[in-house]
């Protein structure tokens, strides 16, 4: 592709990706799948890699998060970010209206803007030359923290404003998580044995105030804007201001929620309406904000040191209820975490009937001292997830029974494997590799890119395999023939053949990747590599002792314990034995270090017939090489296929060695 064609396609891709992010994060109406989005994103990343001169600060690829920071810089707010006064019922709201009118000299009915109040993290965002430049937290209202890097990762935040927007713009808004994303995040944390967030507010604040932008980038943060940050009052009033923001494609509350009302009674109706919507809304709110619409009147009303006199927050009641814990049951999650769940007498909280609440882990049971038979107070964390707030200890009659997981479950309730709790881990976990409760998830991990990298074996396919009972461990994948794969939904003979071939090719993985693929707790890529270096073969590792493992630099006692537990489990040993019987032949790292491409920088260009690009990269890496996107004087070798373009000519100009696919295959085979 030449520079002009690349520029055209890059522009196209950026527009497409921006549009889809907007649809997903702002309009909540995605029109393509996540996979399709990822595909477009990868294409853009690849093109920008090939044509570095075409990278841009407002490209969607600029959202991935930069290097970790030492600390946040301070930002002094030109105008303080104030708090709001509160009203706890409609009477107090009427009193606010009277104060406003009295202050203004008994003006007639006031026009108010009414909006939902999301409980998230307040931020101010600045655009300069229509480009996103600075994002800051509210801090103490006068001085906030520079969280530009983290806000940049929020896909609903435009990095560039349309030409209709003013050159300079400052807006204030709230960073938050949707109810669904909050629940998903906590579930993932729980399964990883990490501490969960108490509510969406903490989750949003914790994500934005992360020094490592990669973490913020991985969280599905959203943003909504509701107030001017600068002194520009040209919109005239709040309702018109929100309309302007919408035109600039900045996310705001939907028009059906952010209403413009004449007089206080209409305003109260709008507040009521928002409260009625509360349950259906995709995000958590804790009230409504009522603002005098007219900016000129706002200016006359002014502010105290704490809050503006022209706005007030109407707080909704927390939704709580009392009920009884009938029993505590243990469920097995994806990563084998045994999760205790309180089974409750059905109770209505905020219009929803609650029958159970997760107790997360033994620590939480101990902290609450909750017992079977207890009367408890429950609420829905962030309006969504039922949780036990406190035990009503004075209502005990002595018949309550204490609960402890290992007493009830010495073995996994789903598969009977051993149950262990590593030091520092909040959860008891089943160590069984073939445990059905966590089977699908461990298979997805096994097949994933960083592990066995089995192309074509996606999540949906794996769910089908597990649902139909076709597969009980990773080893079973290798038992299925083309015909069996072809019978699955949305599979044809061709895709079936591709999967069987992908499985076949994957048999030569490096030992470290196989180790990572097994999903041993606390053994990620890094530890897997340490182990592969120390042991070289799987056999060596199978017999490793605890003391031997802790002697490895980078392997602590917890990790060593987890490895020993894993390999001493009979079911796990059987699965590993079967993988080896199927011809899985992990390659020692030493072989990689002495591989045919050891320490060489290799560039691929043009098409390959016998494998995909991803596989070629993988093969080069497992033969010790590095794959680079562009040719330079540091390139050692270029593999060129049909359609090779500028990279080939550049290689020839620089005198870099060029080989064709045939020779490439020979080198891979014979070294």
DSSP, residue by residue, 469-510: T--SSGGGGGG--HHHHHTSTT--HHHHHHHHHHHHHGGG-B
- Whose tokens are 């929803």? That residue is 352
How far apart CA 47 and CA 404 sit, in angstroms, is 55
* Cβ within 8 Å of residue 596, ≥6 positions away: 623, 624, 667, 668, 671
The smaller minimum CB distance to ligand IVH, of residues 308 and 506, is found at 308
For ligand IVH, which stretch binds (CB under 6 A), given 27-35, 305-313, 398-406, 551-559? 305-313
How far apart CA 545 and CA 303 sit, in angstroms, is 68
How far apart CA 577 and CA 415 sit, in angstroms, is 19
Choose, by CB under 6 A, the member of 75, 204, 311, 575 that binds ligand IVH.
311
Smallest distance, ligand IVH to C-beta of residue 110, A: 17
CA-closest candidate to residue 376, choices 384, 365, 385: 365
174 binds ligand IVH (CB under 6 A): yes
Choose, by CB under 6 A, the member of 47, 75, 114, 122 that binds ligand IVH.
122
The smaller minimum CB distance to ligand IVH, of residues 299 and 642, is found at 299
538 binds ligand IVH (CB under 6 A): no
Q: Please answer whether residues 503 and 447 qualify as being in contact, where contact means their C-beta atoms are separated by less than 8 angstroms.
A: no
Smallest distance, ligand IVH to C-beta of residue 315, A: 9
Choose, by CB under 6 A, the member of 308, 336, 586, 625 that binds ligand IVH.
308
Q: Please answer whether residues 455 and 594 qualify as being in contact, where contact means their C-beta atoms are separated by less than 8 angstroms.
A: no
The smaller minimum CB distance to ligand IVH, of residues 255 and 424, is found at 255
Number of helices and strands in the chain (H, E): 26, 22
Choose, by CB under 6 A, the member of 227, 328, 499, 563 that binds ligand IVH.
227
Residues 245-304 that bind ligand IVH (CB under 6 A): 289
For ligand IVH, which stretch binds (CB under 6 A), given 112-120, 468-476, 499-507, 632-640? 112-120
Choose, by CB under 6 A, the member of 110, 171, 313, 431 that binds ligand IVH.
313
Choose, by CB under 6 A, the member of 82, 161, 271, 454 that binds ligand IVH.
82
The smaller minimum CB distance to ligand IVH, of residues 18 and 293, is found at 293
The smaller minimum CB distance to ligand IVH, of residues 227 and 368, is found at 227
Helix or strand or coil: residue 524? coil
Residues 567-596 that bind ligand IVH (CB under 6 A): none
Which contacts qualify for 358-363: CB closer than 8 Å, 24 or more apart? 358/190, 358/385, 358/386, 358/387, 359/328, 359/388, 360/190, 360/196, 360/426, 361/190, 361/337, 361/426, 361/427, 361/428, 362/404, 362/405, 362/421, 362/426, 362/428, 363/426
For ligand IVH, which stretch binds (CB under 6 A), given 145-153, 186-194, 308-316, 343-351? 308-316
How far apart CA 366 and CA 370 sit, in angstroms, is 7
The smaller minimum CB distance to ligand IVH, of residues 315 and 472, is found at 315
- Catalytic positions, written as ranges: 117
Helix (H), strand (E), coil (C) string for 289-347:
EEEECEHHHHHHHCECCCCECCEEEEECCCCEEEEEEEEEEEEECCCCEEEEEEEEEEE
The smaller minimum CB distance to ligand IVH, of residues 81 and 381, is found at 81
175 binds ligand IVH (CB under 6 A): no
Segment holding 226, helix H or strand E: strand 222-228
Choose, by CB under 6 A, the member of 32, 58, 83, 326 that binds ligand IVH.
83
CA-closest candidate to residue 200, choices 283, 289, 274, 268: 283
Smallest distance, ligand IVH to C-beta of residue 257, A: 10
- Using Cβ positions, the residue closest to ligand IVH within the complex turns out to be 122
Smallest distance, ligand IVH to C-beta of residue 475, A: 53
Smallest distance, ligand IVH to C-beta of residue 163, A: 27
Q: Please answer whether residues 646 and 2 qualify as being in contact, where contact means their C-beta atoms are separated by less than 8 angstroms.
A: yes
Smallest distance, ligand IVH to C-beta of residue 116, A: 6
Alpha helices by DSSP H, listed for 165-282, are 179-191, 200-208, 213-218, 238-247, 263-277
How far apart CA 343 and CA 372 sit, in angstroms, is 9
For ligand IVH, which stretch binds (CB under 6 A), given 115-123, 266-274, 317-325, 645-653? 115-123
The smaller minimum CB distance to ligand IVH, of residues 162 and 302, is found at 302
Smallest distance, ligand IVH to C-beta of residue 141, A: 8
Smallest distance, ligand IVH to C-beta of residue 115, A: 4
The smaller minimum CB distance to ligand IVH, of residues 268 and 289, is found at 289
- In angstroms, the Cα distances linking 339 to 328, 331, 362 are 10, 5, 8
Smallest distance, ligand IVH to C-beta of residue 184, A: 23
Site size toward ligand IVH (CB under 6 A) is 15
Binding site for ligand IVH (CB under 6 A): 82-84, 115, 117-118, 122, 138, 174, 226-227, 289, 308, 311, 313
């Amino acid at each position: 592709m030449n520079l002009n064609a690349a520029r055209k396609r890059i522009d196209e891709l950026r527009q497409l990706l921006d549009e889809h992010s907007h649809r997903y994060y702002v309009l909540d109406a995605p029109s393509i799948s996540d996979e399709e989005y990822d595909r477009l994103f990868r294409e853009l990343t690849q093109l920008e890699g090939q044509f570095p001169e075409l990278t841009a600060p407002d490209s969607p690829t600029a959202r991935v998060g930069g290097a970790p920071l030492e600390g946040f810089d301070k930002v002094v707010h030109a105008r303080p970010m104030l708090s709001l006064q509160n009203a706890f019922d409609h009477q107090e709201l009427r009193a606010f209206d009277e104060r406003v009118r009295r202050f203004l000299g008994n003006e007639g009915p006031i026009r108010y803007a009414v909006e939902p109040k999301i409980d998230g993290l307040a931020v101010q965002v600045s655009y300069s030359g229509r480009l996103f430049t600075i994002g800051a937290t509210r801090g103490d209202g006068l001085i906030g923290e520079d969280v530009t890097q983290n806000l940049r990762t929020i896909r609903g935040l435009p990095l560039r404003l349309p030409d209709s927007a003013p050159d300079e713009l400052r807006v204030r808004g709230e960073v938050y998580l949707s109810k669904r994303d909050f629940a998903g995040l906590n579930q993932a944390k729980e399964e990883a044995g990490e501490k969960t967030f108490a509510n969406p507010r903490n989750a949003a604040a914790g994500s934005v105030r992360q020094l490592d932008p990669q973490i913020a980038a991985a969280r599905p943060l959203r943003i909504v804007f509701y107030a001017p940050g600068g002194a520009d009052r040209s919109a005239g009033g709040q309702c018109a201001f929100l309309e302007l923001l919408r035109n600039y494609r900045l996310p705001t509350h939907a028009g059906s929620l952010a209403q413009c009302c004449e007089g206080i009674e209409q305003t109260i109706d709008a507040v009521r309406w928002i409260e009625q919507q509360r349950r259906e809304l995709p995000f958590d709110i804790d009230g409504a904000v009522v603002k005098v619409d007219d900016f000129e009147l706002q200016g006359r009303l002014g502010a105290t040191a704490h809050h503006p006199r022209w706005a007030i927050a109407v707080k909704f009641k927390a939704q709580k209820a009392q009920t009884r814990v009938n029993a505590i049951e243990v469920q097995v999650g994806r990563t084998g975490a045994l999760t205790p769940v309180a089974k409750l007498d059905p109770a209505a909280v905020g219009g929803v009937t609650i029958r159970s609440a997760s107790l997360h882990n033994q620590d939480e049971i101990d902290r609450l001292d909750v017992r079977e038979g207890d009367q408890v107070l429950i609420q829905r964390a962030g309006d969504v997830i039922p949780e036990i707030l406190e035990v009503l200890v004075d209502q005990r009659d002595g018949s309550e029974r204490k609960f402890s997981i290992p007493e009830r479950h010495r073995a996994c309730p789903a598969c009977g494997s051993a149950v262990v709790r590593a030091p520092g881990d909040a959860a008891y976990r089943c160590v069984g590799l073939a445990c059905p409760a966590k089977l699908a998830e461990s298979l997805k991990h096994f097949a994933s890119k960083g592990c066995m990298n089995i192309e074509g074996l996606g999540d949906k396919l794996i769910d089908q395999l597990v649902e139909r009972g076709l597969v009980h461990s990773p080893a079973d994948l290798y038992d299925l023939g083309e015909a069996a794969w072809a019978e699955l939904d949305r599979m044809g003979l061709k895709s079936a053949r591709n999967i069987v071939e992908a499985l076949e090719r994957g048999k030569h993985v490096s030992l470290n990747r196989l180790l990572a693929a097994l999903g041993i707790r606390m053994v990620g890529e890094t530890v897997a590599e340490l182990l592969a270096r120390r042991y070289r073969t799987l056999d060596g590792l199978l017999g490793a002792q605890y003391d031997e493992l802790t002697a490895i630099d980078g392997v602590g006692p917890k990790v060593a314990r987890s490895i020993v537990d894993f390999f001493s489990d009979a079911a796990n040993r059987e699965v590993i034995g079967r993988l080896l019987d199927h011809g899985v032949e992990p390659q020692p790292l030493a072989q990689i270090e002495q591989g045919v491409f050891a320490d060489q920088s290799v560039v691929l260009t043009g098409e390959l017939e016998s494998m995909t690009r991803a596989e070629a990269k993988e093969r080069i890496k497992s033969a010790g090489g590095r794959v680079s996107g562009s040719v330079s004087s540091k390139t050692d070798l270029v593999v060129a296929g049909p359609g090779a373009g500028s990279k080939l000519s550049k290689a020839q100009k620089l005198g870099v060695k060029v080989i064709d696919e045939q020779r490439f295959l020979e080198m891979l085979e014979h070294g």
